[in-house]
Every structure is written in C-alpha cells, then in structure tokens.
Amino acid sequence: MASSRDELTGGPESSRDFLPAAQRELSVDARTAGFEEVVAGFNESQALREAQRCLSCGNCFECDNCFAACPEDSIIKLGKGKGYDVDFETCTGCATCFGVCPCHAIEMIKEPVS
C-alpha cells in the first residue's frame, strides 16, 4: 500500500532510508517472569544498517533547497537563523519543496474538506 509520502512525491518512502530497524521485544508475560533483556537489540545486519542510515534530526538547516526549487516563489526567507515561511496564497501544494528537503523538515498535509 502506498504511503501518504508516496502519494505526495511519487516515490517509495524507502528511498529516504531514515526509519530505524525494529527490535524484538519480550512479551509482557516474559518481562514479568524473569530478568531477560526486554529489548533484544540489533543483530549484525541491523547494526550495520543502523550505522549507515540517515540520522537526520528533521530540523531545517537553511540549505535553501526548498527556496530555490519552489516553482511559485512561495517560500519566503525570514533571515539567517529565522527559517522560512510559506505564502499559502500562491503555493499550489505541488510538494516540490517536500521532495527536495534533505532532512524531512517539511511535512505536507491535506487541506481539510469542508
């Protein structure tokens, strides 16, 4: 099933390989029955993947990619250290800014249907 990100960008979410690997956890019953580690940790292949995956914190670092890529000039620079604003009067919701942001600092949300 396509994720909302796929729908917005036309690309698979795995192309932005930022999600952590799942770790096996003990069941609640097993947790209360002994002193085993609750979270199993990573196996070798998971540990290698964790060491290589993007750990971007999702904070904008003012690379200007979105500002440069917006076809409608809807992104407004607020000045160094102050980030950006979006002019929603001219923004078409094309998601180009979302697609070029290297750290997932931009979220696209659907407009509420009235």
Q: Give the footprint of ligand SF4 on this chain (CB under 6 A).
A: 60-66, 70, 72, 74-75, 86, 91-97, 100-101, 103, 105-106
Distances (CA, A) of 83 to 63, 65, 67, 76, 86: 10, 12, 11, 9, 10
> What is the closest distance, in whole angstroms, from the C-beta atom of residue 70 to ligand SF4 in the complex?
3
Which residue lies nearer to ligand SF4 by CB, 5 or 105?
Answer: 105
Token representation of residue 77? 């620079």
CB of 14 to ligand SF4, least distance (A): 20
Find the shortest distance in angstroms from Cβ 62 to ligand SF4. 5
Which of 104, 62, 70, 67 minimizes the C-alpha distance to 90?
70
